[in-house]
Amino acid sequence: MAKTIEEINEKIREGKAVVVTAEEMIDIVREKGVEKAAKEVDVVTTGTFGIMCSSGIYFNIGHTKPRIKLGGGKVYLNNVPAYAGFAAADLFLGANALPDDDPRNRYYPGDFEYGGGHVIEDLVSGKEILLTATAYGTDCYPRKSLNAYITINDLNEAVLFNIRNAYQNYNVAVNLSNRPIYTYMGFLKPKLGNANYSSAGQLSPLLNDPFYKTIGIGTKIFLGGGIGYVAWHGTQHNPNVPRTERGVPKVGAGTLAVIGDLKGMSPKWLRGVSMKGYGVSLAVGIGVPIPILDEEIAFYTSISDDEIYAPVVDYSSTYPNREPDIITEVTYKQLRSGEIEVLGKKVPTSPLSSYVKAREIANILKDWIKTGKFLLTKPSAPIPGPESGIKFKPFSGREIKEEVKEK
């Protein structure tokens, strides 16, 4: 018998809802079967904590006296450039932004000590951030410069808005070349010296809802230690990919755009990241509740690491040149064992996302729901599934021969 979200919420209000983590659900379904599990369990909580580059914040600093129009000017936060293309007092900062004078990879591999992700962590921590701005001045906004310390408490709205998070599955990165390489998937030793992966696997939100039957626009989630919502499907959302018999994508597929009040979040779940030779970023903690509305959804949430496959990709050549080849497929169970076999060679594995934190998030969310602090929401619209026909396109702009010179 199918349940509704309203019925589940009623149980949550009464403190009677049965809430388990996606990890716990595996054994429940194995022991009791899908039918019984679907009846008994009301909510399955998922979690993921990893480096999610397409993250950012927007905020409003209020109006200075006299007024300054930041829009169209230049603004830096702790020397990191912010986007000032909105109105007078609104700014956007992306996790990958770097100070203009950062050496980047001029001294290879660069250290990327401090950037957008670190500013976001410092702001969430309540630290003072140095805001330096220049503007052109108008009759209504006469001021031309601003040099001030701000904290998150000084801001009006401060909102985390991540345009692509929670990737549904991801590549395993290896290096087939003869030289060490520094990638967003970490340091890769030459000649298959190691293999790096980045997914919470059986705990990951979209791997527990492979066809986006419950996660949609408006779904309330754990975001950065506070409350957030799914705002849209994420950029590069790619539901039409090869899937296993269980419907689980065998390569990177769906993504989520998420939004939430930064003021309710914590630096424990939003962490600045420095990837040697690559850049800066932000590690984000996300947890999504999945209402067990029927047996089909119960079945999906029982997915385990040995049933999820990831493609092994060469990041020395195939990836940078956007070739389609994959070397082999491995399961997350194999990856988590610490060693996989690639081209006949035993290769040590390293995770880039934290399974420990993913598990902690799933448990926190479980606790919030069990104690009635967190009710489920019904999506106002679904995110596109395979039936939408949406496929992620490669770059198809009309290129011009002349090289662009750096200004």
Partner 1 sequence: MRTERIVLHFPKHLADKPVIVNLVRKFDLDFNILKATITPDEEGVMVLEITGEEENFQKGIQYLKELEVKIQPLSQDVIWDETRCTHCGYCVSYCPTKALQRDEKTYMVSFDPQKCTTCGICVEICPYKAMEIRLVI
Q: Is 194 in the site for partner 1 (CB under 8 A)?
A: yes
Considering the complex, what minimum distance in angstroms separates the CB of residue 23 from partner 1?
12
User: Which of 329, 57, 273, 288 minimizes the C-alpha distance to 166?
Assistant: 288
Q: Between 201 and 210, whose beta carbon lies closer to partner 1? A: 201
Q: Between 164 and 271, whose beta carbon lies closer to partner 1? A: 271
> By the 8 A CB rule, do 180 and 188 touch?
yes
Give the containing element (helix H, strand E) for 7.
helix 5-13
Q: Between 238 and 353, whose beta carbon lies closer to partner 1? A: 353
Q: Between 32 and 127, whose beta carbon lies closer to partner 1? A: 127
Q: Is the dihedral of CA 280, 362, 265, 376 positive or negative?
A: positive
Active site residue 53: no
Distances (CA, A) of 98 to 53, 322, 355, 376: 13, 26, 28, 38
Q: Is 338 in the site for partner 1 (CB under 8 A)?
A: yes
The H-assigned helical ranges of 236-346 are 295-300, 332-336
> What residues contact residue 258 under an 8 Å CB cut-off, 6+ apart?
160, 161, 162, 165, 166, 221, 223, 228, 229, 230, 231, 286
Q: Is 171 in the site for partner 1 (CB under 8 A)?
A: no
Applying the rule CB under 8 A, the residues between 259 and 288 that interact with partner 1 are: 271-276, 281, 283
User: Which of 159, 160, 128, 402 minimizes the C-alpha distance to 284?
Assistant: 160
Q: Is 357 in the site for partner 1 (CB under 8 A)?
A: yes
Catalytic residue among 140, 147, 245, 406: 140
Considering the complex, what minimum distance in angstroms separates the CB of residue 159 from partner 1?
24
Q: Is 353 in the site for partner 1 (CB under 8 A)?
A: yes
> By the 8 A CB rule, do 303 and 289 touch?
no
Site stretch for partner 1 (CB under 8 A), options 39-47, 48-56, 299-307, 376-384: 48-56
Considering the complex, what minimum distance in angstroms separates the CB of residue 277 from partner 1?
10
Considering the complex, what minimum distance in angstroms separates the CB of residue 50 from partner 1?
8
Considering the complex, what minimum distance in angstroms separates the CB of residue 358 from partner 1?
10
Q: Which residues pair with 330 in a beta bridge?
A: 310
User: Which of 124, 156, 127 minimizes the C-alpha distance to 225?
Assistant: 124
Site stretch for partner 1 (CB under 8 A), options 23-31, 63-71, 77-85, 352-360: 352-360
Q: How many residues bind partner 1 (CB under 8 A)?
A: 28
Distance CA 61, CA 156 (A): 6
- Which residues carry out catalysis? 140
Q: Give the footprint of partner 1 on this chain (CB under 8 A).
A: 49-51, 186-187, 194, 196, 271-276, 281, 283, 336, 338, 348-357, 359
